Amino acid sequence: MSIASFVLAVSALTTPVDPFIGTMGDGHMFPGAVYPFGMVQLSPDTQTRYFKQSYPWAAGYQYDDPTILGFSHTHFSGAGHSDLGDVLTVPIAGAVRLDPGEADEPLSGYRSRFSHDSEKAEPGYYAVTLSDYDVRAELTATARVGLHRYTFPAGKTAHVLVDLRSAIYDYPGKVLWSRIRVRADGTVTGYRQTRGWAPGRQLYFALRFSSKPVSNQIYNREQPKPEYDPGFAPWAKRDDVIFREGRALVAVFDFGALPSSQLNVKVAISGVGEENAIANLDAEAPGWDFDATRTAAAAAWHAALATVEIEASEPVRKMLYTSLYHTLMAPSIFMDVDGSYRGPDHEIHHAQGFTFRSTFSLWDTYRALHPLLTLLRPESDNIDFVRSLVASWQQGPDGLLPVWQFQGQETWTMIGYHAVPVIADNWLKGIKGDPGPLSLDAMVASATNPRYAGLDEYMKLGWVASDKEREGASKTLEYAFDDWTIARAAESMGRLDIAKQFEARARNWRNVFDPKTGFMRARKSDGQFREPFDPAAAGYYGDYTEGNAWQYTWYVPQDTAGLIRAMGGNKRFVAKLDALFDSKVDPKAFANVEDITGLIGYYAHGNEPSHHIGYLYVYAGQPWKTQERLKQIVTSQYQPVPGGLSGNDDLGQMSAWLIFTSLGFYPVTPGSGEYVIGRPFVDRAVLHLPNGKTFTIVAENLSDTHGYVGGVRLNGRPLSRAFIRHDEILAGGELRFIMQAQPSRSWATDPRSRPYSMSSYQ
C-alpha cells in the first residue's frame, strides 16, 4: 500500500462522505471534485441546454438524469438560483457532434449516457464512464485547477470538445462574448463574459493537454449569423485555428489515436485574465500526476473534516460528515495565486493580507454556517470572509455590503443586509484580523443606505412600507435583527451613539406585529396593516420572502422574550408554535414558491426562515418540546441518500443546521455569543479547535427511545441553563448530556436559564 492510497483509505474510514447526498430533488448539490473552499468545482452537468424550467439544475446535475453533457469547472453547492457551469470539457471517442443534443435522444449530440454503477465520488474525486463513448473520466482538483484523466477505448480517435456556450441556467443571449486561443506552447486560454445571475461576469481559463492535439478547430455556432463576425480572420476556416472570438464558440481538439489510451487535461480558472489563469495553473498543477493531486485533495479534506470527530451510527456519521463537507465549500476562494481578483466593480484589485472570497449566500448562511466556521475555521477562513465583505463594500459601486455575491459580482438576491451579522458576530467573538472600525463603517453605511430596498421608509417610519416596497414584513423583521447586531458590535467598540441608534431600530419588529391576529404583518406608509390578510398565503412579491406569516412571525432572534410577551405569554406562544408544526397543510400548498419545501405543518425546514424555530420552545421554558421538534425535523428532513435533503443546502446552511443540532446546540442569535441547547444526535463528538483545545460532546444513554435531555454537565458541573457560550466552547472541555426516555420538566425551565433576548435585559 502506497502512502497515497493509505491516506485515502484512512480518510475514507474516518470521515465517510457521500457527495451524492442532495444531488436528487431539491438539494441542488453537485457530486464532482472540489478542494476545500476551492475556486474550481469540477463536476458533471446533466441538464438540457435551454431549460424550460431551470430550477432543478441549479448545480448542473440531477441524479435521475440519463446523460452527462460533460464536465464544467464552476458550480454552486445547493443554491436556489443559479449560474456558472464554465468551460464545459467533454471527452469524445469517435465521431464528434458539435451540439449537446437532447437527453432523451441518444447520440443526438455530444452528451453521453452513463450509469450510476460507474460513478464514484469522494471528497476531491469523481469518476464516471461515459457509456456512449466508453470513456472513463476521472476528475480531481486543486483550489484553482481542475484535473481530468480520460481513458479512451482502443481503436477510436480521441477528442476533447470545449463548449463555451454551455452554462447552468442558460438562456439565449446569455454568453455576451468569448474567446479561445491556442498558444504556441499548446496552452489553450480563453474567457467568456455572461449576463446571467451576475451581470457581465468575466471568467478566464487556461487549459493544457498531456498530449499534443493533431489538430484543433474552433467553431462559432452563433445563429443567426452575426452581421460582423471576427471569424473573418484570414485563417478562420483552416483546420488549425488558433484564435477565435464570438458568442457561441466550440473548440474541438483531435488527438487521433493516442499513444497510450490516457489523456490528462488540466484547467485553471481566473477572474482576472488569461495570464493569471496560466499562473494559477503553473502554481498549483505544474505536473501531470493525477493521483498525487487526488491524494492531496483527499488529504486536505481529511484534515478539514477530522476537526470534528463523531461517534454515532454509520448512517448518521455519513450524513454528518457529508454535511461537514458541504459546509467547507463556500464562501469560496475567488483570488488568483498572485493575490489579484476581479471585484464588484469589475476592476482588478489586490488583496492585502487576506484571500478574497466570494459566493456569499448571506441570507442563508449568516444563520448557522458562519457561526459554525467561527468555531471550526475562524482565522483561516472566517476572517477572510469578513475582509472580503468589507473590501467588496469599499470597491463596489453601490455603497453596500454584499447581499448575494458570487465571483465578486452582486446579484441582489434575497433580502436584508446579512453581511452585517456575519461581520458583527466575527467581531464580537474577537477573531483576530478583524478590521474593526472599518467593519463598523461598512455595517452602518449598508444599514443606512437610503437606496436599498425600503430602507428610506424603514428609517423614517420604523417599518418597510408595503405600499412602496414588496416583502415589507420580512424586510422589517430581518433589518431589525441585523440592526441589533450592529448595536452589539458598536457597543463593544465603544461607539455608544451608534449602539443606541441601532438598539432602537432593533425594536422595529414590534411595528409589524399585529396583536389582533398574533402574526407579523406588512404595514403601509399610513400605518395600517395591509388587507386582506391570510397567514397561510405565500408567493413571490407579497409581504413575505419565500414564506408566509406562519413562518415569518417567529423571526425576532434578538428578542424572543419580547415576542413571547407580545403574543400574550408562554402558553399562547407555545400553543402557536405547536399549531405551526401540527397544522394540516397540503404538501402542494406552496408549489408556487420553489423554496418552501420540507414541510412539517407550516414549518418549512427546506427554507431558512424556519431554521431557528424549533429552538424557540426553550425561550418559553419548555426545552423538551424543542427536543421533540428537533427529532421530528432531523429524522424527516435529512437522509444519507441522493434525495435525502428536503431543500436547497444553500451553500452549507442546511448542513450547518444539522451539524449544530446534532452536537446539541444551535446559534439562534448570531451576535449574542450564545448557542441554544437543543439535544444531541450523536453519542460523542470532539471538536478539535484551531486554538489547540478540544471540546467534547457526550450524550449519555442516547438512543431512539432516550431522546430527552435529563441534565447537562459542562466540565463536570451541572449546567442548568439552556445555552452555552462561545467562549466556553473555545476554552475546551466537555459538554455532557444525560439523555432519558421521558421529558424533564425541570432542566433549564427557569426563566433565568433562558438564552439571550433584548427584553430580558430591560
Q: Which is nearer to a second copy, 4 or 176 (CB)?
A: 176
Q: Which is nearer to a second copy, 12 or 348 (CB)?
A: 348
- Minimum distance between the CB of residue 449 and a second copy, rounded to whole angstroms? 9
Among 397, 532, 587, 692, binds a second copy (CB under 8 A): 397
Measured distance CA(85)–CA(70) in Å, rounded: 10
Among 154-162, 397-405, 568-576, 614-622, the segment contacting a second copy (CB under 8 A): 397-405
- Minimum distance between the CB of residue 119 and a second copy, rounded to whole angstroms? 32
Cis before 515? omega within 30: no
217: Cβ–Cβ under 8 A, 6 or more apart, which residues?
239, 241, 251, 252, 254
Q: Which of residues 306-345 bind a second copy (CB under 8 A)?
A: 345
- Minimum distance between the CB of residue 196 and a second copy, rounded to whole angstroms? 7
Among 1, 3, 13, 184, binds a second copy (CB under 8 A): 184
At residue 15, φ and ψ (nearest 5 deg) are: -130, 80
Among 221-229, 357-365, 379-387, 549-557, the segment contacting a second copy (CB under 8 A): 221-229
448: Cβ–Cβ under 8 A, 6 or more apart, which residues?
455, 459
Bridge partners of 325, per DSSP, are none
- Minimum distance between the CB of residue 540 and a second copy, rounded to whole angstroms? 12
- Minimum distance between the CB of residue 506 and a second copy, rounded to whole angstroms? 22
- Minimum distance between the CB of residue 230 and a second copy, rounded to whole angstroms? 3
Q: Which is nearer to a second copy, 412 or 533 (CB)?
A: 412
C-beta separation of 634 from 659 below 8 A: no
Q: Which amino acid is at 584?
A: K
C-beta separation of 264 from 147 below 8 A: yes
How many residues contact a second copy, by CB under 8 A? 46
Among 19-27, 181-189, 720-728, 744-752, the segment contacting a second copy (CB under 8 A): 181-189
Q: Which is nearer to a second copy, 206 or 308 (CB)?
A: 206
Among 179, 326, 418, 631, binds a second copy (CB under 8 A): 179
Among 171, 500, 534, 571, binds a second copy (CB under 8 A): 171
Q: Which is nearer to a second copy, 228 or 761 (CB)?
A: 228
Binding of residue 436 to a second copy (CB under 8 A): no
Q: Which of residues 558-617 bind a second copy (CB under 8 A)?
A: none
Q: Which of residues 224-253 bind a second copy (CB under 8 A)?
A: 226-228, 230, 232-235, 238, 240, 242-243, 245-246
Among 65, 381, 410, 683, binds a second copy (CB under 8 A): 410
Measured distance CA(41)–CA(123) in Å, rounded: 11
Angle at 361 between CA 360 and CA 366, to 5 degrees: 95
Q: Which of residues 441-500 bind a second copy (CB under 8 A)?
A: 451-453
Q: Which is nearer to a second copy, 141 or 400 (CB)?
A: 400
At residue 82, φ and ψ (nearest 5 deg) are: -155, -175
Measured distance CA(216)–CA(707) in Å, rounded: 63
Q: Which is nearer to a second copy, 173 or 587 (CB)?
A: 173
Q: Which is nearer to a second copy, 69 or 206 (CB)?
A: 206
Binding of residue 671 to a second copy (CB under 8 A): no
Q: Which is nearer to a second copy, 218 or 386 (CB)?
A: 218
Q: Which is nearer to a second copy, 103 or 279 (CB)?
A: 279
Q: Which is nearer to a second copy, 183 or 684 (CB)?
A: 183
Q: Which is nearer to a second copy, 464 or 633 (CB)?
A: 464
Among 41, 72, 187, 193, binds a second copy (CB under 8 A): 193
Among 134, 291, 398, 734, binds a second copy (CB under 8 A): 398
Measured distance CA(74)–CA(58) in Å, rounded: 11
- Minimum distance between the CB of residue 343 and a second copy, rounded to whole angstroms? 11
Expressed in percent and rounded to 5, the helix, strand and coil fractions of the chain are 30, 25, 45
Residue matched to cell numbers 473590501: 391
Q: Which is nearer to a second copy, 243 or 533 (CB)?
A: 243
Query: How many angstroms separate the first and last alpha carbons of the chain?
Result: 65
CA 470 to chain centroid:
25
For residue 91, give the 3-state DSSP assignment.
strand
- Minimum distance between the CB of residue 454 and a second copy, rounded to whole angstroms? 8
Residue matched to cell numbers 455576451: 176
Q: Which of residues 261-280 bind a second copy (CB under 8 A)?
A: 273-275
- Minimum distance between the CB of residue 265 and a second copy, rounded to whole angstroms? 21
At residue 53, φ and ψ (nearest 5 deg) are: -135, 105
Say what the alpha-carbon torsion angle 423, 424, 429, 435 is, to the nearest 10 degrees: 60
Q: Which is nearer to a second copy, 471 or 559 (CB)?
A: 471
Cell of 190: 480563453
Measured distance CA(648)–CA(530) in Å, rounded: 31
Q: Which is nearer to a second copy, 348 or 731 (CB)?
A: 348
Q: Which is nearer to a second copy, 133 or 205 (CB)?
A: 205
- Minimum distance between the CB of residue 193 and a second copy, rounded to whole angstroms? 6
Measured distance CA(614)–CA(200) in Å, rounded: 41
- Minimum distance between the CB of residue 139 and a second copy, rounded to whole angstroms? 28
Measured distance CA(5)–CA(660) in Å, rounded: 32
Measured distance CA(647)–CA(645) in Å, rounded: 6
- Minimum distance between the CB of residue 413 and a second copy, rounded to whole angstroms? 9
For residue 26, give the 3-state DSSP assignment.
helix
- Minimum distance between the CB of residue 708 and a second copy, rounded to whole angstroms? 46
- Minimum distance between the CB of residue 235 and a second copy, rounded to whole angstroms? 4
Among 51, 55, 177, 288, binds a second copy (CB under 8 A): 177
Burial pattern 325-347, b for ≥16 Cβ within 10 A else e, equals bbbbbbbbbbbbbeebbbbbebe
Measured distance CA(617)–CA(748) in Å, rounded: 11
- Minimum distance between the CB of residue 472 and a second copy, rounded to whole angstroms? 13
Q: Which is nearer to a second copy, 29 or 279 (CB)?
A: 279
For residue 576, give the 3-state DSSP assignment.
helix
Measured distance CA(259)–CA(497) in Å, rounded: 73
Among 170-178, 436-444, 513-521, 714-722, the segment contacting a second copy (CB under 8 A): 170-178
Q: Tally DSSP H helices, then E strands, for the chain.
A: 18, 38
For residue 255, give the 3-state DSSP assignment.
strand
- Minimum distance between the CB of residue 342 and a second copy, rounded to whole angstroms? 10
Say what the alpha-carbon torsion angle 647, 649, 654, 655 is, to the nearest 10 degrees: 130
C-beta separation of 71 from 137 below 8 A: yes
Q: Which amino acid is at 721?
A: R
- Minimum distance between the CB of residue 394 and a second copy, rounded to whole angstroms? 11
Q: Which amino acid is at 351?
A: A
- Which residue in 295, 372, 288, 282 sits closest to 330, CA to CA? 372
Residue 454, Ramachandran bin (φ over 0: left; ψ between -120 and 50: alpha; else beta):
left
Q: Which residues bind a second copy (CB under 8 A)?
A: 171-174, 176-177, 179, 181, 183-184, 191, 193, 195-197, 199-200, 226-228, 230, 232-235, 238, 240, 242-243, 245-246, 273-275, 345-348, 397-399, 410, 412, 451-453
